Amino acid sequence: MKSILVPTDFSPSAKNAARYAVHLATMLQENVMLCHALTIPAATFAGQLPGPLEDDQEIKQQAEEELLEV
């Protein structure tokens, strides 16, 4: 079984590429896998603790919501 891997940052261009990949995969009867890497900020600055950071679950939820728009 073959799959088309589509990296995405959910930008308009990436969404267009994902739609094209789905169309192509349909024609070829293949699978599509979307890949979105999450960056969770955890760095300190000058030895100080960082300020309040977004919860990693909130970042993941945002990515999942954008995925549904593709």
Write out the DSSP string of 27-66: HHT-EEEEE---------BTTBPP-----HHHHHHHHHHH
Q: Summarize pLDDT for 20-55 with one digit per residue, the tens.
A: 999 999 999 999 998 988 766 665 555 555 555 556
Report d(CA 34, CA 57) in Å as an integer.
19
70 touches 42 (CB < 8 A) = no
Statement: residue 59 has pLDDT above 90: no
16: Cβ contacts below 8 Å, ≥ 6 apart: none
For residue 64, the model assigns a pLDDT of 80
